[in-house]
Amino acid sequence: MTRPDRGAALRALHVPGTPFLLANAWDAGSAKMLAALGAPAVATSSAAHAFTLGRPDGGTVTRDEALAHAEALVAAVEVPVSGDFENGFGDAPEDVAETVRLSAEVGLAGISIEDTSFPGGTPYPADLAVERIRAAAAAARALSGDFVLVARADGVMTGAYGMEEAISRIRAMDAAGADCLYVPLPPGMASLKKVVQATDKPVNALAAGRFAKVTRDEFAAAGIARISIGSALARLTHRMIHDAGRAMIEQGDFSLLAAGMPGSEVDKLLG
């Protein structure tokens, strides 16, 4: 499947009320396993990618590193791949536009852009956040094939602003040309429904934290079009490393290793 075809395929998956799983992977192997299990699309995870490099989350990965990582995932699977690209690797609107163009060159079907600056982690002023999405949308529409641009309002998740500001931002980002809107980890399902009601565009929900207990059917009833998992699956893997590691190192207990998946099953999924 060519990148333009993957862009169109990714867009077609976005049906409000019939959410698909956008499975965030952290390397070629995890991407191949998730695709083999039936995930219709895969995404990078900025946090999970940082973990693989031995770094914490939050602006610690360069654009070149993120693009090379994304290209490896694109090469590993036939399903569309989207990039979790933090703030677009630059503050200026033209930086974000260039990231869109470079993302298309490595085969990505779309990317998500946050309204958070790094390394400080503070939100951009609302007008700048919107101009950044406007520039990204213009760059996406100038590509030869389809490309799905997701605009994120992260201030609720980080505690920088509340739901009223988040709704205001996604409405403006919608008008600026975003294809999908995303407010990670609002206070609850009622707030998530307000996000859906604020736009006619598809809305992404993050199945992490309190929302890890929400079922696909419940997300569907709220009108969600896409469910991503961010770094949750990678952190689940790190939980096993932590628990098994402590048991082995501190207690000489290797019993948790018996819960591992048989290598032959992994081999089958990796093809």
**How do residues 106-120 score in pLDDT, each as one tens digit?**
999 999 999 999 988
**How do residues 233-258 score in pLDDT, each as one tens digit?**
999 999 999 999 999 999 999 999 99
Percent of the chain with pLDDT over 70: 99
C-alpha–C-alpha distance, residues 138 and 83, integer Å: 18
φ and ψ at residue 146, rounded to 5 degrees:
-70, 155
User: Which residues, including other chains, have CB under 8 Å from residue 131's CB and lie 6 or more apart?
Assistant: 93, 176
Range list of H helices, the chain: 3-13, 28-36, 46-52, 63-76, 93-105, 126-141, 155-158, 163-175, 189-197, 216-221, 232-251, 263-270
- How much is the pLDDT for 115? 98
If you average pLDDT over every residue of the chain, what do you get?
A: 97
Decide if 147 contacts 167 (C-beta within 8 A).
no
Instruction: Report the chain (271 residues): mean pLDDT per 10 consecutive residues.
Output: 82 98 98 98 97 94 98 98 97 98 98 95 97 98 97 98 98 98 98 98 97 98 98 97 98 97 95 88
Whole-prediction pTM: 0.95
The CATH homologous superfamily to which domain 3-231 belongs is Phosphoenolpyruvate-binding domains (3.20.20.60)
Residue 216 neighbours by CB distance under 10 Å = 14
- Cα 61 to Cα 51, 106, 270: the distances in Å are 10, 17, 27
Give the SS3 label for residue 100: helix
- How much is the pLDDT for 214? 98
- How much is the pLDDT for 3? 58
